[in-house]
Amino acid sequence: MRILVTGGAGFIGSHLVRRLLSSSQHTVVNLDALRYSANLANLATIEGHPQYTFVQGDICDQHVVSSVLQVHQVEGVINCAAETHVDRSILDPGSFARTDVVGTGVLLEEARRAGVQRFLQVSTDEVYGSVETGSSTEEDQLAPRSPYSASKAGGDLLVLSYWTTYRFPVMVTRGSNTYGPNQYPEKFIPLFVTNAIDDQPLPLYGDGRQRRDWLAVQDYCAAIAHVLFHGEPGQVYNVGGGNERENLVVAQQMLDYLEKPKSLIRFVQDRPGHDRRYAMDCSKLRRIGWQPSIPFEQGLHDTVEWYRLNTSWWRPIKSGEFREYYKQLYGKRLKEGVTG
Ligand code: DAU
C-alpha cells in the first residue's frame, strides 16, 4: 500500500514509519511540519530508503496536503500529526484546536477528495475523560476535560462523521499512555528518567496516586498497522497495554532501575483539571487479532536503558526551547512544593 503518515518525525509517527518500511510491501510518505517535538534523528536509519519520502509541511495547509496525496497516489492515510501534551494545552490551547481539529479536518477532506481507500485517525483514551471505576468501551460518551483531550475528541467526531455522511472509510484508534525510546522529554517517563540521570528533582503532581495504563510504543504501532489493514470502516478501536499503575509506583521503579535515591521525588502542585485515572476495555481489538506483547516491567527497563545510553539524543533537546518551557511550568512549583 502507498501510505501517508502525518507527524512521522514525532514519537509514535517515527516508530510507525520504521515499522511500515520493515515490510517491503509498502511505500511511505512522511508529512511533518517539524515543530518542537519532531526530530528527524528518529528516522536516521531509514534515510535514503527507496520506498520512503519525507515532505516538510503542515496538515492545516490544504495545498501541501492535496499535492502530497496526488503526487504520491496515496492509498492509505495514518494521521499521527497532533499537538499532544496536556500541560502545553493548558498554556496554549489555541494551537491544539488548530492542529488537532482544523488540521484533521483539512487532511480528512483532501483524503476524501483524492479517493483514499483507508483513513486512520490516531487518537487517545483521554477523550473518555477521567474514569474513576471500570473501563471505557468504544460506545461510551466522550467527556474530555483538558484543551488537549477536547481537541482530540473534536478530531475524532469529525473523522467519524465522514463515515456516516460520505461512507468514507475511516477508523480511529484510541491509545493509552504510550512510552518508549525517542519520546520527547516533556512526558512523564522520559522527563523523570532524564532528570534522574542528571540528579535533578522529579516533579510529581499532587499525591502521585493518579493511574495510567502504559502501552509500549512498539505495541501501539503494531495495533495501528493491524487496524489499518484489518479494521472495519467507521469503527473505533481502544488500544491499551493492560498495565495500570500509579504514577508514584512508576517513578519509584525508574529510580530503582537507575539506582538513584527516592528522595529525588518532589511532590508539587497538581496539574489543573488533572484526570485521576484512564482505563479502557480493549476486547474489540482483541477480537480482530491484536494484543500487547511487551510486559511493562521489561518495556520500562528497556526504555530507561535507552535514555541512559542515548544522552546525545535528549541532551540537545533539553538545552533548547525546552529550558524556557520547563522554567515556566515547573520553576515556581519546584520552589514551593506541594503546598504552593
Ligand atoms: O493517555 C494517552 C495520553 O497520554 C496521550 O494522548 C497524550 O498525548 C500523552 O501526553 C499522555 O497524557 P498524560 O497527561 O497522561 O501524560 P503525561 O506524560 O503528561 O503524564 C502522565 C502522568 O504523570 C499524569 O498523571 C501526569 C503525571 N505527571 C506528568 C508530568 C509531565 C507528573 O506527575 N509530573 C510531570 O511532570
Element counts in the chain: helices (H) and strands (E) = 13, 12
Which pLDDT score is estimated for 339?
Answer: 54
Angle (nearest 5°) at CA 173 between 180 and 160: 150
Q: Which atom from ligand 1 is nearest to the alpha carbon of 87?
A: 19
Q: In the numeric block, which cell numbers belong to residue 323?
A: 529550558
Tell me which residues are annotated as active site. 125-126, 148
Q: Determine if ligand 1 sits within 6 Å of the CB of residue 247.
A: yes
Give the count of alpha carbons within 13 A of 321, CB side only: 8
- In this predicted structure, the answer to whether residue 84 has a pLDDT above a threshold of 90 is yes
Strand order in the sheet with 52-56: 52-56, 27-32, 2-6, 76-79, 118-124, 170-175, 235-239
Q: Determine if ligand 1 sits within 6 Å of the CB of residue 122.
A: no
Ligand 1: centre distance to CA 186 (Å) = 9
Ligand 1: centre distance to CA 86 (Å) = 7
Specify the DSSP element, H or E, that contains 6.
strand 2-6
Residue bearing the CA closest to ligand 1, atom 11: 177
Residues in the chain: 340
Ligand 1: centre distance to CA 151 (Å) = 16
> Ligand 1 pocket test: which of 212, 249, 252, 274 has the largest number of ligand atoms within 8 Å of its C-beta?
212
Which pLDDT score is estimated for 189?
Answer: 99
Which pLDDT score is estimated for 340?
Answer: 41
- In this predicted structure, the answer to whether residue 168 has a pLDDT above a threshold of 90 is yes
Instruction: Give the tens place of pLDDT for each residue, 3-33.
Output: 999 999 999 999 999 999 998 899 999 999 9
Q: Between the CA of residue 271 and those of 89, 100, 298, 333, what are the distances in Å?
A: 11, 21, 29, 10
Residue bearing the CA closest to ligand 1, atom 34: 204
Q: Determine if ligand 1 sits within 6 Å of the CB of residue 290.
A: no
Q: Determine if ligand 1 sits within 6 Å of the CB of residue 303.
A: no
Q: Which domains does the chain have, with CATH numbers?
A: 2-178+214-239 (3.40.50.720)
Ligand 1: centre distance to CA 191 (Å) = 10
Instruction: Give the tens place of pLDDT for each residue, 183-195.
Output: 999 999 999 999 9
Is residue 324 classed as helix, strand or coil in its secondary structure?
A: helix
Nearest to 186 by CA among 320, 318, 333: 318
Q: Determine if ligand 1 sits within 6 Å of the CB of residue 192.
A: no
Ligand 1: centre distance to CA 240 (Å) = 15
Q: Determine if ligand 1 sits within 6 Å of the CB of residue 37.
A: no
Q: Determine if ligand 1 sits within 6 Å of the CB of residue 188.
A: yes
Rounded to two decimals, the pTM is 0.98
Residue at 151: amino acid letter: S
Q: Among the listed ranges 111-115, 119-123, 130-134, 333-337, which one has the minimum average pLDDT value?
A: 333-337
